[in-house]
């Protein structure tokens, strides 16, 4: 029986692979014999690439054999070269993977510094490097900040904002310096606290500064000159949505985890399953609701529209987290005379801070990439988000706006990138602590 099942599995796997190979061959056969515009075509270039790779592997083999032989001779021991060879080949493979993964990023960053919109052009590039000539690597011979300049065109910056920018830059440099100092002197204790303080004041000041921006500062005629305003709108919206998610789900998740009231299971089901309705397809209904409440084209309106979508996941994850904490602390507090609500507020909430960070960040990142609801509710360039703006760049006139799109992409990615790498710990532990229970 077991054998039959294994055999069946193998047969099925082989059939799928065979079908895939056949499909791929017919797909390859259907590719027309045309070359990309402005590309450099090297016949049988793949052979060269493969041989180069093979050569590199052979070189690594030779190096590992020699290195192992030398170290065996010097230290007087006998070891095989295979572990070293495997290690170095792994590094080679990982570096190839890194190149592949970063290739699109390099392209976009390169394009953002290239004022000539090279994406959809027939222009030949003169360069001694074949990769640049083939436009596989960005041509930086005319690199400039024109694309970035277009994003801030016509923005009037009063003196106090210049001062703020200088202070922010100083804080950022300071925190980076503190980070480096920490790395070099791991023993010194105060450094981490100071770095956290500078980072916190940087984030706080940045947020305050962005909130103080006024739409009247943006006098540029073009759409893209409102980018900084969009960034402000997006950060405001994403932050508020994240905060709302935490506020709404904390008490609900706690109740599901700790209380045993009749109908608890049913309510939990309702909470989880109601969210499986594709939310943004209820756009018309949401639009109708918001227009009844006079909330069209307001951030609070969009925030309310998002609020429905944040509850289910946050409640579920927070419930899982609370269940993993022992109730003894709250019980001790209640024996000492605290009410249930005080125990929740004073004892549990501080304990759950990492989970709040996780829920907040996840909603923040999710809201940042949302554009369907936003583009319906927020009309008018001045209230757009980064997502709507970028989507607007690509519809219709991608060819002429590729450079601006790239520059906006680079700047627009920075907040999420910073958050992700800054709070990587929370993302990883959040998924394991709340979502995946053992």
Instruction: Name which of residues 365 to 424 contact another protein (CB under 8 A).
Output: 365, 368-372, 386-387, 390-391, 394-395, 398, 402, 405, 409, 412-413, 416-417, 420-421, 424
Q: Which of 12, 14, 17, 49 binds another protein (CB under 8 A)?
A: 49
Q: Smaller CB distance to another protein: residue 120 or 162?
A: 120
Angle formed at CA 220 by CA 151 and CA 140, multiple of 5 degrees? 30
Q: Which of 7, 9, 18, 45 binds another protein (CB under 8 A)?
A: 45
Whole-angstrom distance, CA of residue 1 vs CA of residue 221: 74
Whole-angstrom distance, CA of residue 241 vs CA of residue 366: 10
- Shortest distance, CB of residue 161 to another protein, whole angstroms? 26
**Secondary structure class of 380 (helix, strand, coil):** coil
Q: Which of 2, 33, 73, 189 binds another protein (CB under 8 A)?
A: 33
Binding segment (CB under 8 A) for another protein, from list 154-162, 181-189, 190-198, 287-295: 287-295
Q: How many residues bind another protein (CB under 8 A)?
A: 125
DSSP states of 40-107 = PP-TTHHHHHHHHHHHHHHHHHHHHHHHHHHHHHHHT----SHHHHHHHHHHHHHHHHHHHHHHHHHH
Binding mask 80-119 for another protein (x = CB under 8 A): ---x---x--xx--x--xx--xxxxx-xx----------x
Contact 407, 150 (CB under 8 A): yes
Q: Which of 4, 41, 75, 328 binds another protein (CB under 8 A)?
A: 41
264 forms beta bridges with: none
- Shortest distance, CB of residue 383 to another protein, whole angstroms? 16
**CB neighbour class for 190 (10 Å; exposed up to 12, middle 13-18, buried from 19):** exposed
Whole-angstrom distance, CA of residue 152 vs CA of residue 150: 5
- Shortest distance, CB of residue 216 to another protein, whole angstroms? 22
Question: In 10 A of CB 107, how many CB atoms?
Answer: 16
Whole-angstrom distance, CA of residue 190 vs CA of residue 266: 50
- Shortest distance, CB of residue 426 to another protein, whole angstroms? 12
Residues of span 128-187 touching another protein by CB under 8 A: 130-131, 134-136
Q: Any idea which residue has 């895939």 for tokens?
A: 20
Q: Smaller CB distance to another protein: residue 193 or 437?
A: 437
Q: Smaller CB distance to another protein: residue 376 or 381?
A: 376
Q: Smaller CB distance to another protein: residue 148 or 368?
A: 368
Calculate the alpha carbon distances from 41 to 15, 33, 207 in Å. 36, 12, 50
Whole-angstrom distance, CA of residue 288 vs CA of residue 296: 9
If you ran DSSP here, which 8-state letter would residue 155 be given? B
Q: Smaller CB distance to another protein: residue 103 or 160?
A: 103
Q: Smaller CB distance to another protein: residue 11 or 98?
A: 98
- Shortest distance, CB of residue 401 to another protein, whole angstroms? 11
Whole-angstrom distance, CA of residue 347 vs CA of residue 279: 35
Q: Is 430 in the site for another protein (CB under 8 A)?
A: no
Tokens of 260: 């045993």
DSSP states of 265-276 = HHHHHHHHHGGG
Binding mask 202-241 for another protein (x = CB under 8 A): ----------------------------------------
- Shortest distance, CB of residue 167 to another protein, whole angstroms? 27
Residues of span 299-338 touching another protein by CB under 8 A: 300-301, 304-305, 307-309, 311, 315
Binding segment (CB under 8 A) for another protein, from list 71-79, 153-161, 182-190, 364-372: 364-372
Whole-angstrom distance, CA of residue 223 vs CA of residue 404: 11
Q: Which of 47, 58, 177, 180 binds another protein (CB under 8 A)?
A: 47
- List all residues 6 or more positions away from 158 whose beta carbon is below 8 Å from its beta carbon: 217
Whole-angstrom distance, CA of residue 350 vs CA of residue 400: 51
Residues of span 251-280 touching another protein by CB under 8 A: 251-252, 254-256, 259, 261-263, 265-269, 271-280
């Amino acid at each position: 029986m077991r054998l039959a099942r294994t055999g069946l599995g193998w047969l099925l796997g082989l059939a799928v692979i065979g079908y895939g190979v056949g499909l791929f061959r017919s797909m390859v056969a259907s590719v027309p014999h045309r070359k990309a515009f402005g590309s450099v075509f090297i016949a049988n270039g793949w052979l060269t690439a493969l041989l180069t790779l093979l050569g590199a592997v052979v070189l690594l083999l030779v190096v590992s054999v020699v290195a192992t032989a030398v170290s065996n001779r010097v230290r007087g021991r006998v070891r095989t070269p295979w572990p070293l060879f495997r290690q170095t080949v792994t590094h080679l493979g990982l570096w190839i993977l890194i190149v592949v993964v970063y290739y699109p990023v390099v392209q976009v960053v390169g394009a953002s510094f290239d004022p000539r919109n090279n994406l959809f052009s027939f222009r030949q590039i003169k360069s001694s490097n074949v990769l640049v000539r083939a436009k596989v690597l960005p041509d930086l011979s005319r690199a400039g900040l024109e694309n970035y300049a277009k994003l801030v065109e016509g923005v009037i910056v009063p003196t106090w904002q210049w001062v703020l920018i200088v202070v922010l830059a100083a804080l950022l440099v300071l925190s980076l310096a503190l980070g480096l100092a920490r790395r070099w002197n791991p023993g010194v204790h105060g450094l981490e606290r100071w770095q956290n303080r500078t980072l916190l004041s940087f984030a706080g000041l940045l947020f305050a500064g962005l909130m103080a921006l006024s739409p009247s500062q943006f006098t540029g005629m073009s759409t893209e000159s409102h980018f900084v305003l969009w960034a402000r709108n997006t950060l405001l919206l994403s932050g508020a949505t994240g905060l709302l998610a935490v506020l709404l789900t904390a008490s609900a998740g706690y109740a599901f985890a700790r209380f045993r009231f009749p109908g608890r299971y049913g309510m939990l089901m309702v909470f989880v399953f109601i969210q499986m309705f594709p939310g943004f397809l209820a756009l018309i209904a949401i639009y109708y609701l918001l227009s009844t409440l006079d909330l069209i084209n307001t951030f609070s309106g969009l925030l309310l529209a998002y609020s429905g979508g944040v509850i289910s996941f946050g409640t579920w994850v927070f419930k899982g987290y609370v269940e993993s904490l022992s109730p003894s602390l709250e019980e001790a507090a209640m024996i000492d005379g605290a009410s249930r609500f005080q125990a929740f507020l004073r004892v549990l909430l501080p304990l759950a801070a990492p989970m709040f960070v996780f829920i907040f960040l996840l909603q923040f990142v999710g809201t940042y990439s949302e554009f369907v609801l936003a583009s319906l509710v927020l009309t008018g360039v001045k209230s757009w988000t980064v997502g709507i703006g970028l989507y607007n760049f690509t519809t219709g006139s991608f060819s002429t706006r590729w450079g601006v799109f790239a520059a906006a992409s680079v700047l627009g990615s920075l907040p999420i990138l910073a958050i992700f790498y800054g709070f990587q710990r929370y993302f990883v532990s959040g998924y394991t602590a709340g979502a995946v229970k053992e």
